[in-house]
Structure formats: C-alpha cells, structure tokens
C-alpha cells in the first residue's frame, strides 16, 4: 500500500542516501543517483518541501559514524527537519539495535516522521513495530553474512601469501602488473638495508632513529603520504619503536606477515592486536631485501639488549606526571651517585628521544624531590579545604574565586558552543565542496578528520563544564571523604592520588603544577 502524506506543508524533509562497498559493485538499483531519483520523485508526488539531501557515499551501514548522517541529526536537533525519507531501511543502516534506537529516538523525542518507501514503513502508522523488527533483523543478517564472507576471503588470500594491505611495507611497493603482489621499491629499499647494517654495527634503535633524522630521511608515514589525524612532537620523525618493528619484521626476508590485528566486530571500526603466534606468516612470497643471516644476527642483538635493558621502575607518581611543555608523560632514568647509590630522576621522553632537535627540554629532577613536593602541596590543599568545612564557611577570598570560576566557566561554555557551531559549518562547507568537485577526496578526508577530532574534544570539554548542580553536590561528599582519607593516611597509595588528582605537570623551570579532579580543591589550592 502506497504511503500518502495528507498534510505536506507541515513537513521540512530530509532525503537520506547511503551506498557502501557491502552493496556489491554499486549496481544501478542501489546507486546514489537511483536512490536520489526515487526520493525526489516521492517528494514531488507528495508535494513535500525538501530541506536538504544528505548523501553518504562509500560509508558502511554497520555504524552511524557518517558525516552526512551526523549533519542530518544535527539539523533535526536544531529544529530544521521533521521528516526523514529513505529508499529502504537498509539505506538508513544495517545495525539493528542502533537503527531502531535512532528511528524511535528522533520520532519520539523530536516528533520526526520516518518513511522508508520500498519497505512501506512509516512511523505514523500503528502497525510498524513488527515490520521494522523483521526488516532490521534481515538487514543485520545481511551485514553479518557479508562480513563473514569478506573475512573468509581475506584470510584465504593471506594464507596463500597474497598481499591485501592498503599500503605496501616500507621498502616495497605494490606490483604494477600483478594483483596482491609486492615488489622491491628501489627508492626506499637502500634505507632498509642501511637500518639493518647500522644495527649490525651495534647501534641501538634510538641511535639509528637519530641518524635517520639527522640525514632527513622521510619516515614511512611521510613517504606513504599518510595524513596523521594526531600530530605531536614525534610527527615526521623516526622513532626507536619504528626501527625496532622493522628490524623484527620478516617481510624483509621474503616472508609475508599479515593478520597482526583484527576488527572487534562487523559493527565496529575498532581493532584489537593479535598475539604474535597467531599471525599469518607465509614464507618466500616475494624478493627479500635482507638476507636471512643478517636478519637472525640482528634478532640476536635485540634479544641480548632486552636482557640487559633498563628495569621498569615503580614510583608513586607513575602515570600522573607529564611534561608541561610537550604534554607527554615523563619517563624515569636511574643514575649512580657517589658510594654506588642509585637515584631515580624524571626526564622528558621527547627531549631524550630528540635531543638534537630541541623539541623539548630535559626536565631532569629527582623523583623523590618531586614526590615530596607534590605530597606537601596536596596536604596543604586538603588541610585548607578541611578547615573551611570545619568552620562551615568559606572565606571571602574563596567565595570570590568561586564566583570568578563560575563566570569563567560560563564564558568557556559559550565559547565552546560557538566554536562547535563554527566547526559544524566548516564540515558542511567542506562536504559541499567535495560533492561539487571543488576539493578532492584526500583533501576532504584530511580536513574532515581534523575538524571531527576538534569537535569530539570540544564536546567532551562541554560535557565536563555543564555538570549539573546535583553532580557537584555529590562531588562535595566524595571530596570530603577523600580529603579525610589523605589527611589521616600513614602511607600514601597511588589509588588515593589518582582519586584526587587529574594530572601533575613539571615545567622546564622545575615548577610543579597540580590539577585536581574537583573544583573545590582547585579553589583551595589557590588560597
């Protein structure tokens, strides 16, 4: 039975189109143009006012992390849309639980009417609940079966020694004539050989990384033109971890090594690491860059270093203390003093790894000195806060600081909301540029990912800023109990510190900055 709209002028309509690789070779029946034509014809026949057409081309229905879908839901939440029309339920998504959640969330919370033309589905009908359950179950089964088939095909190819990765390992490139085959890249293979020769000469992974950085050799990521979503002080530089990985990678002796990671499920993009013993290794699949004898000697050198490598140290501030300048966790080194005494020192790992590039500064200071100073500062703050509670009042200065904090928080919330609106506008504009061909796919993905990362960070910040008064009252009771525990403790534990402190930062001037998890303690720390 055809769906009819009796009051078309009451609706501001979103037409939603989605196509992904799981739909096969983009048959005409499921193509973007075909879906769009069907939706526009439906809108015209029913005299509907189309607010916008939202297109996610090349995005899976397994999850709802799609740019235009998010743009559409934002428009719904901003009151711009009150009807969604799709060709069928599978275009909306194939994850049954999430699909039902979105359909009913927006139909009930935002009074949005949802229509799937080919499925004769309309949330204005009373008999749709069973239909959507059956359709969604069918769509999810399709997704599950497709995922299993893809996984089986990939594993079969891996077990045959065929290369199925997106980028060839550094030192190799995809064969221009044969599919799923890698060949030596004469531009980068000499660098791989140099790395192994330096290792044979006794150079450590850190020393090799420094040599390559001094020679200004592009890293594998830079060479492959991979756009990193997160850039830090290590970006664009060789690291000891990268060198260690390459020196132990059997691909360089002609063995294909795949299956190091696996998607958690067909519903998620997240991956988990696979134990080394479960990797798929097929010998003699391609031309080696390194001979087996050299590879085995280097492996023995690495193993011997692992036996004599510096110990893992336990200390109270472990995982809590960071470099103020670069933001990375501080490491610990052991130094022998007069009388053969050992002493632990904090040191900035960024400085340690990239000393010659002056990426950061040393921050070298005794662990015991910093720990004692931190405990003394926490004790002072807790005592100050406890005295305020005992007097059942807060000093004028504290009250003023709390008011200032509240005003500052209000400004931060307003600023975050304004920036979020600006980011969303930029996302919309970049997507329109992509659809119109003004920017290519690589540029769009780089810009889009950067904006989405900032958007996610801002949303988390906004959630934290907008904690309710009820939550704050709960915090007060929790703070009081933690403060009393700290003041009465005979010995301090990491668990207690982690409960009180968000993070500790050590500046290059050796100043210690403590950030508490609770606003009340932050105020008390400034009294």
What pLDDT is stored for residue 350 in this prediction? 77
Give the residue with greater pLDDT, 13 vs 477: 13
pLDDT at 231: 58
Flag whether pLDDT at 19 surpasses 80.
yes
**Beta pairing class for 280-282 and 256-258:** antiparallel
DSSP β-bridge partners for residue 17: 55
Q: How confident is the model at residue 471 (pLDDT cuts 50, 70, 90)?
A: very low
pLDDT of residue 251: 92
Per-residue pLDDT of 103-145, as tens digits, reads: 777 877 788 998 988 888 888 875 555 455 555 555 556 556 6
The per-residue pLDDT for 305 is: 61
Q: Residue 314: pLDDT band by 50, 70, 90 thresholds? A: confident
Dihedral angle, C-alpha 495, 501, 502, 504, nearest 10 °: -110
33 vs 440, higher pLDDT: 33
Pick the closest to residue 434 from 445, 444, 423 (CA basis): 444
Q: Are β-strands 172-174 and 182-184 bridged in parallel, bridged antiparallel, or unpaired?
A: antiparallel
pLDDT, tens digit, 9 for 90 and up, residues 477-490: 777 888 888 888 88
Mean pLDDT of 46-57: 91
| DSSP 8-state code for residue 139 | H
Inter-CA distances, 170 with 132, 221, 465, Å: 48, 9, 44
Are 158 and 127 contacting, i.e. CB atoms less than 8 angstroms apart? Answer: no
May I ask the CATH architecture of the domain 172-308? Alpha-Beta Complex (3.90)
Distance CA 367, CA 317 (A): 9
Beta bridge mates, 56: 18
Alpha helices by DSSP H, listed for 309-391, are 349-353, 367-390
> Taking CA 146 as the corner, what is the angle to CA 65 and CA 137, rounded to the nearest 5 degrees?
75
Which of these ranges, 14-28, 172-186, 293-307, has the smallest mean pLDDT?
A: 14-28
Q: What is the pLDDT of residues 379-423, one digit of tens each?
A: 888 888 877 765 444 445 555 555 566 667 667 777 777 887 788
Contact between 270 and 263 under an 8 Å Cβ cutoff? The reply is yes
What pLDDT sits at residue 465? 63
Contacts of 244 (CB under 8 A, 6+ apart): 205, 302
What pLDDT is recorded for position 493? 80
172-308 shares the fold of 8-155: no
Tokens (6 digits) for 120: 């004769």
- CATH number of 8-155: 3.40.47.10, 3.40.50.1390, 3.30.420.40, 1.10.10.10? 3.40.50.1390
The predicted pLDDT at position 335 comes to 81
* pLDDT for the residue numbered 187: 93
**pLDDT at position 390, please?**
55
CA distance 104 to 108: 6
- Residue-wise pLDDT for 218-267, tens only, equals 999 888 887 655 555 566 788 888 999 999 999 999 999 888 877 655 45
* Gap between the Cα atoms of 428 and 448, Å rounded: 9
Per-domain boundaries in the chain? 8-155, 172-308, 321-369, 378-525
pLDDT in tens, 150-170: 667 777 788 888 998 888 999
Q: What share of the chain has pLDDT > 90, as a percent?
A: 18
User: Among 487, 500, 496, 424, which Cα is nearest to 456's?
Assistant: 424
Q: What are phi and psi of 438, to 5 degrees?
A: -70, -40
Cα dist from 460 to 232, 331, 466, whole Å: 20, 28, 10
Rounded CA gap, 34 and 26, in Å?
11
Six-digit token pair at 379?
A: 């004790």
**Kind plus residue range of the DSSP H or E element containing 340:** none
Rounded CA separation 24/111 (Å)? 35
Q: Residue for token digits 């600006």? A: 422
Query: pLDDT tens across 434-444, in order?
Result: 666 676 766 76
């Amino acid at each position: 039975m055809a769906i009819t709209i009796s009051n078309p002028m009451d609706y501001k309509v979103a037409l939603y189109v989605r196509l992904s690789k799981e739909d096969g070779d983009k048959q005409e029946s499921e193509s973007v143009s075909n879906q769009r034509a069907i939706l526009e014809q439906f809108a015209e026949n029913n005299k509907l006012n189309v607010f916008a057409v939202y297109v996610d081309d090349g995005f899976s229905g397994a999850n709802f992390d799609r740019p235009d879908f998010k743009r559409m839901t934002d428009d719904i939440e901003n009151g711009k849309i009150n009807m969604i029309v799709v060709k069928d339920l599978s275009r909306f998504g194939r994850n049954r639980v999430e699909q039902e959640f979105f359909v009913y969330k927006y139909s009930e919370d935002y009074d949005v009417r949802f229509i799937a033309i080919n499925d004769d589905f309309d949330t204005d009908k009373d008999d749709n609940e069973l239909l959507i359950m059956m359709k969604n179950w069918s769509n999810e089964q399709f997704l599950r079966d497709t995922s299993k088939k893809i996984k089986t095909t990939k594993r079969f190819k891996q077990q045959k020694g065929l290369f199925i990765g997106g980028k060839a390992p550094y030192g190799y490139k995809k064969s221009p004539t044969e599919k799923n085959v890698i060949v030596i890249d004469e531009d980068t293979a000499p660098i791989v050989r140099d790395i192994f020769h330096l290792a044979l000469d006794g150079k450590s992974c850190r020393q090799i990384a420094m040599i390559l950085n001094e020679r200004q050799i592009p890293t594998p990521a830079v060479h492959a033109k991979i756009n990193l979503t997160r850039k830090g002080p290590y970006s664009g530089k060789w690291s000891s971890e990268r060198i260690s990985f390459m020196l132990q990678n059997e691909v360089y002796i002609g063995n294909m090594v795949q299956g190091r990671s696996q998607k958690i499920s067909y519903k998620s993009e997240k991956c988990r690491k696979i134990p080394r013993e479960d990797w798929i290794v097929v010998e003699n699949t391609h031309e080696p860059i390194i001979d087996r004898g050299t590879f085995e000697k280097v492996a023995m050198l690495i193993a011997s270093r692992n036996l004599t490598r510096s110990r893992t140290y336990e200390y109270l501030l472990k995982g809590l203390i960071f470099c103020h300048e670069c933001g990375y966790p501080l490491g610990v080194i052991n130094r022998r003093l007069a009388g053969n005494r050992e002493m632990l020192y904090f040191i900035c790992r960024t400085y340690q790894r990239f000393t010659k590039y002056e990426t950061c500064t040393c921050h070298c200071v005794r662990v015991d000195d910093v720990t004692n100073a931190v405990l003394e500062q926490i004790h002072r703050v807790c005592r100050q806060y406890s005295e305020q509670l005992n007097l059942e009042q807060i000093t004028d200065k504290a009250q003023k600081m709390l008011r200032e904090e509240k005003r500052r928080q209000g400004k931060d919330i307003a600023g975050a909301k304004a920036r979020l609106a600006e980011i969303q506008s930029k996302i919309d504009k970049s997507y329109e540029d992509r659809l119109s061909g003004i920017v290519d796919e690589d540029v769009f993905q780089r810009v889009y990912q950067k904006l989405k990362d900032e958007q996610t960070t801002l949303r988390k910040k906004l959630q934290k800023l907008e904690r309710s008064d009820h939550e704050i009252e709960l915090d007060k009771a929790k703070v009081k109990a933690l403060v009393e525990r700290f003041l009465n403790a005979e010995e301090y534990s990491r668990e207690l510190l982690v409960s009180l402190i968000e993070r500790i930062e050590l500046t290059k001037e050796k100043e210690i900055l403590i950030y508490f998890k609770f606003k009340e303690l932050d105020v008390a720390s400034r009294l």
